[in-house]
Amino acid sequence: MRIVFLGAAKTVTGSMFLLETDSGNVLVDCGFFQGRRQKSKELNRDLPSKVFDADLMVLTHAHIDHSGSTPTLVKRGFKGPIYTTPATADLCQHMFRDSARIQQHDAEYLNRKNSDDPDWEKLEPLYTEKDAISALKQMVTYHYWRSFEPLPGVRIVFHDAGHVLGSACVLIEAEGKKVLFSGDIGRRNMPILRDPEVPANVDYVVMESTYGDREHGAIESTRAELARIINETAARGGKVIIPSFALERTQEVVLGLNHLRKDGKIEDIPIYVDSPLATNLTHVFKNHPECYDDGAISFLQEHGDPFGFDTLTYTSSVQESIALNTAKGPMVIISASGMCEAGRIVHHLRNNIESPDNSIVIVGFQAQHTLGRRLVERRDRVKIFGVPRDLRARVEVLNGFSAHAGRASLIKFAKLAGPDHKKVFLVHGEEKSQVSLAEALQKRNMNVVIPSRCQIETLD
């Protein structure tokens, strides 16, 4: 048995691993690379030829850096089943189609803009909404803990990863060995989802390491910080702009604001979720209470909808979104994309970044070379739509909302998956974080490998 590390190797995005067994090959995730535009574009366009050796695919969760290239794979001839959880399949309905629409829109825009240039090579989207729907047709769903045998002698089971709705750690048993693909690992004691669970007695662990060198703030103090920022900004008459991932983070922030309002910790100011994708995904959350933890189920029973309240508006039309540009504060605007690279958030940043009355609240991980990272670094000037803008709004970074396990939990995860595993492969992390985590695991006598892209490892 062998693993080929096709993506998320020494980097945070582009999850893609091929497990080759005697009875067939399993592709685990097929995600987008994100980061430097040109490089990511090439990597997403030129899928490694090895992915087409897959007989079936398993998808750990709906985040685009794990799922985004699946429609490309199907468009280029992959006919096998794509196994995942029911909630992930429902989220992918929206994630895939949204991704296709963005690509189609960007290609049309750039083709139009460069229509006078005789050397302009016409851009094509990687996939269209129709291709995205074709990929959805190949999905086969299994709930957590229901094992299935898609190839003779290859048994697969999803365990709850507690990271985003429907997220799974995938345990694959073949040739007398157990291989665990962690996907992204969630945090304990977070709202909405159950805590991550770790299968024991695993032989090989392929584990994420996004926060391998850091811990996060506690969710309670993070909510208190958010309340402080909202109240201070409201007192200045400003707007609070929250770039947020449409999946999970938006719902966590909304639930947090719902709690703060109920407890009288924030003023009653208008709150907008201005992202069609986030709105659609929130509907999926409402349809999958089987993924909730006890706290979210109690909230549902006592107060009704955790993701809706009087002062909250989910905007739908473009006109409603544009109207927010001229609307006077105070108000809170939650919008996507989470790393500020595309979508309505870029417009809100452009319109609000130059006023010191406003606050920009960063609630998620910001990869290198993204506008979000430049905001975290509090650069004096940042380019938005190619135009330099002064960064005068206050930038506040809240780490407590992270959906990723921190360093101590990652160490614990690796330990619990043992005790006698042969190797831990660290993936899905920047180098500094991976090296730091590797050292910590080696100190605990674990055999750790940080694979490079396209590295092949034999599991004997």
Size of the site for Zn ion (CB under 5 A): 2
Q: Which is nearer to Zn ion, 365 or 425 (CB)?
A: 365
Nearest distance, CB of residue 385 and Zn ion, angstroms: 28
Q: How far is CA 335 from CA 109, 241, 306, in A?
A: 22, 8, 19
Q: Which is nearer to Zn ion, 63 or 261 (CB)?
A: 63
Q: Which is nearer to Zn ion, 131 or 184 (CB)?
A: 184
How far apart are alpha carbons 94 and 98 in whole angstroms?
Answer: 6
Nearest distance, CB of residue 210 and Zn ion, angstroms: 8
Q: Tell me which residue of 139, 191, 153 sits closest to 24, measured CA to CA.
A: 153
Q: Which is nearer to Zn ion, 299 or 365 (CB)?
A: 365
Nearest distance, CB of residue 105 and Zn ion, angstroms: 24
- Give the DSSP per-residue string, 248-272: THHHHHHHHHHHHHHTT-S----EE
Which residues, 60 to 99, sit near Zn ion by CB under 5 A? 63
How far apart are alpha carbons 281 and 300 in whole angstroms?
Answer: 18
Nearest distance, CB of residue 63 and Zn ion, angstroms: 4
User: Is 208 a binder of Zn ion (CB under 5 A)?
Assistant: no
Q: Which is nearer to Zn ion, 84 or 359 (CB)?
A: 84
Q: Which is nearer to Zn ion, 184 or 213 (CB)?
A: 184
Nearest distance, CB of residue 29 and Zn ion, angstroms: 10
Asked if residues 204 and 264 have their Cβ atoms less than 8 Å apart, the reply is no
Q: Name the β-bridge partners of 240.
A: 332, 359
- Give the DSSP per-residue string, 23-65: TEEEEE--PPP-SSHHHHHHHHHS--GGGGG-SEEE-----HH
| The one segment of 57-65, 74-82, 89-97, 111-119 that binds Zn ion by CB under 5 A | 57-65
Asked if residues 171 and 156 have their Cβ atoms less than 8 Å apart, the reply is yes
How far apart are alpha carbons 187 and 248 in whole angstroms?
Answer: 13
Nearest distance, CB of residue 167 and Zn ion, angstroms: 7
Q: Which is nearer to Zn ion, 64 or 135 (CB)?
A: 64
Number of residues in the chain: 460
DSSP H or E stretch at residue 424: strand 423-427
Q: Which is nearer to Zn ion, 12 or 391 (CB)?
A: 12
Nearest distance, CB of residue 9 and Zn ion, angstroms: 16
How far apart are alpha carbons 180 and 196 in whole angstroms?
Answer: 14
How far apart are alpha carbons 398 and 284 in whole angstroms?
Answer: 26
C-alpha of 105 from chain center: 22
Q: Which is nearer to Zn ion, 104 or 399 (CB)?
A: 399
Nearest distance, CB of residue 64 and Zn ion, angstroms: 9
Q: Which is nearer to Zn ion, 15 or 352 (CB)?
A: 15
Q: What angle do CA 374, 378, 379 make, to 5 degrees?
A: 70
Binding mask 408-427 for Zn ion (x = CB under 5 A): --------------------
SS3 track for 99-137: HHHHHHHHHHHHHHHCCCCCCCCCCCCCCCHHHHHHHHH
Which phi and psi (to 5°) does residue 205 adopt?
A: -120, 125
Binding mask 165-194 for Zn ion (x = CB under 5 A): -------------------x----------
Which residues, 237 to 266, sit near Zn ion by CB under 5 A? none
Nearest distance, CB of residue 296 and Zn ion, angstroms: 19
Nearest distance, CB of residue 404 and Zn ion, angstroms: 7
Residues that bind Zn ion (CB under 5 A): 63, 184
